[in-house]
C-alpha cells in the first residue's frame, strides 16, 4: 500500500473580518498583522511589490504561484524596507535559482519583520475579493500552530481601513535629497547621471526608486522633497518642472496638505507638472475633481489602457485602490487615458498647459515598455519651456 502522508500542521492563518479563516504554512516573521487584503496578478516582481510604498496598510495575495523562485537582491528594492504588511501565496516559497539572488525570500521577510503564508487557495481568495471588495484581515504566523481565532476576527473587524487615512506621511522621506541613479542597463547595472539636466523637484508621497531612475534617464536633475513640502519650498529650488509621485492611502486625506501646494505651484509657475498614481489623484483633486474608493482596485502588470487621443493601447502596471471620478473633471481638464477593464480614469491633462498625469506606473516595465514615453514627454515639455 502507498504510504499515507499527513498534511503538515498549520503554522499560519489568514482571518477575514467576516469570520472566514484560511490555514496555511507561515514563513518570514512571526506574530500578527492587520491590514486590507488585495490581490496582484503580476507574474514577476514580488520583491518590487513588497517594497512599493503604495502597498502600505495592505497584505498582498499573489495570484501567480511561483513566488520566491528568484530570491531577493538589494538592486530590486523600490524603497529601503518592505512596506506591504504581508504576503499570501499558493505554494510555499522555493529555494531561489537565479544568478542575481542574494538571499532567500523567507529570510529576507523574517529580517524585515514581514509575515508570509503559503498553501492558500489563492483562486478562491481572489474570487472573494472581487465579489465582496477588499476585506480587512488579520494575518498570524505562529510556529506552534496556536491561534485565537475569535481574537483575530475581532482585530480584523476593528481595522479602520484605508478610507480617510493619510499614509503618505508614513512613507515619505524625512528630508530632501538629490537623485542621480539612472535605469538599469547591461552590463554595468545602474549608472550615475553626471551631465547637467533639467531641474526637477519630485514630491515624495511614497516614490518608487525606479520612477526617480526614469526621470534621471530622461534628462532630469532630480531633487526629492517630502510629501508635506510647501509651494514656497518647492519654488525655492527654481525648478524647470515638478513631479508628483505615487503613494499609499486615501488621496482625499493626503490632499489636505498636498492640494494647496499643487494649486499654488500651478498659479505661480508656468512649468510642466507630471504625476503618477497618487500624484495623478493629487493633481486631479487640485484641479477640482474628486476621487472614490474602488471595490478591489487595480493591482497587476497586464492592465490594458487606451490613450483616447491617439487610439493606442498600452499594457501597463497598476497599483491603486482609489480612482479619479472622471464625471467630476472640470472644464479645461481633458481625460486622456481609460482602463479597458472597467472604463475607469487613467490619465488627465490641462488643455492649454504641459500639466498631465496617469494612474498607472510607466516606470514598472514588466516586460513591455509601452509607457516610458511619458517621461520623455515630460522632459521634452521642460526643454520646450526652457527654450522660450
Residues recognised as catalytic: 277, 361, 363
Query: Where does the chain have alpha helices with state H?
Result: 46-50, 105-112, 122-132, 149-158, 168-171, 209-217, 231-235, 251-268, 278-286, 373-387
For 131, other C-beta atoms within 10 Å of its C-beta total: 9
Whole-number Å distance between alpha carbons of 130 and 140: 23
Of the chain, the end-to-end C-alpha distance in Å amounts to: 85
Q: Does an H or E element contain 144, and which?
A: none
Whole-number Å distance between alpha carbons of 32 and 15: 11
Q: Where are the beta strands (DSSP E) in the chain?
A: 12-16, 21-28, 31-40, 58-62, 86-88, 115-118, 136-141, 177-179, 181-185, 189-192, 198-204, 220-226, 241-244, 273-276, 291-307, 313-324, 333-339, 345-350, 355-358
State the cell numbers at 93: 516559497
Q: At residue 293, what are phi and psi to the nearest 5 degrees?
A: -75, 135
Whole-number Å distance between alpha carbons of 81 and 305: 30
Instruction: Enumerate residues 6+ apart whose C-beta is below 8 A from 192.
Output: 180, 181, 182
- State the greatest distance between any 2 C-alpha atoms of the chain, in Å, as a whole number: 85
For 129, other C-beta atoms within 10 Å of its C-beta total: 21
Give Cα 355 distance to the centre of its chain: 22
Amino acid at each position: 500500500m502507498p504510504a499515507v502522508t499527513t498534511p503538515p500542521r498549520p503554522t499560519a492563518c489568514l482571518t477575514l473580518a467576516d469570520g472566514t479563516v484560511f490555514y496555511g504554512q507561515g514563513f518570514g516573521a512571526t506574530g500578527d498583522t492587520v491590514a486590507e487584503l488585495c490581490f496582484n496578478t503580476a507574474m514577476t516582481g514580488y520583491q518590487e511589490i513588497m517594497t512599493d510604498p503604495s502597498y502600505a496598510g495592505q497584505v498582498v495575495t499573489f495570484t501567480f504561484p511561483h513566488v520566491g523562485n528568484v530570491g531577493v537582491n538589494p538592486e530590486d528594492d523600490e524603497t529601503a524596507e518592505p512596506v506591504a504588511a504581508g504576503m499570501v501565496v499558493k505554494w510555499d516559497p522555493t529555494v531561489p535559482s537565479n544568478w542575481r539572488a542574494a538571499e532567500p525570500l523567507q529570510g529576507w521577510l523574517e529580517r524585515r519583520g514581514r509575515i508570509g503564508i503559503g498553501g492558500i487557495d489563492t483562486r478562491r481568495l481572489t474570487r472573494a475579493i472581487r465579489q465582496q471588495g477588499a476585506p480587512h484581515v488579520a494575518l498570524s504566523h505562529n510556529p506552534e500552530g496556536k491561534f485565537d481565532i475569535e481574537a483575530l476576527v475581532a482585530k480584523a473587524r476593528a481595522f479602520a481601513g484605508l478610507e480617510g487615512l493619510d499614509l503618505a506621511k508614513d512613507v515619505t522621506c524625512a528630508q530632501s535629497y538629490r537623485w542621480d541613479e539612472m535605469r538599469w542597463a547591461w552590463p554595468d547595472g545602474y549608472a550615475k547621471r553626471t551631465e547637467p539636466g533639467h531641474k526637477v523637484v519630485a514630491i515624495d508621497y511614497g516614490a518608487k526608486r525606479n520612477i526617480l531612475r526614469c526621470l534621471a534617464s530622461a534628462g532630469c536633475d532630480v531633487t526629492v522633497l517630502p510629501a508635506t513640502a510647501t509651494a514656497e519650498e518647492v519654488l525655492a529650488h527654481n525648478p524647470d518642472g515638478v513631479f508628483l509621485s505615487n503613494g499609499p492611502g486615501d488621496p482625499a486625506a493626503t490632499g489636505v496638505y498636498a492640494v494647496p501646494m499643487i494649486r499654488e505651484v500651478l498659479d505661480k509657475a508656468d512649468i510642466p507638472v507630471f504625476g503618477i498614481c497618487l500624484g495623478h489623484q493629487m493633481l486631479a483633486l487640485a484641479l477640482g475633481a474628486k476621487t472614490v474608493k474602488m471595490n478591489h482596485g487595480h493591482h497587476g502588470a497586464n492592465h490594458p489602457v487606451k490613450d483616447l487621443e491617439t487610439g493606442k493601447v498600452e499594457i501597463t502596471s497598476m497599483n491603486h485602490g482609489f480612482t479619479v471620478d472622471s464625471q467630476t473633471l472640470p472644464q479645461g481638464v481633458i481625460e486622456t487615458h481609460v482602463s479597458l477593464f472597467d472604463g475607469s480614469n487613467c490619465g488627465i491633462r490641462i488643455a492649454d498647459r504641459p500639466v498631465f498625469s496617469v494612474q498607472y506606473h510607466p516606470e514598472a516595465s514588466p516586460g513591455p515598455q509601452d509607457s516610458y514615453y511619458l517621461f520623455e514627454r515630460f522632459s521634452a515639455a521642460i526643454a520646450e519651456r526652457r527654450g522660450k
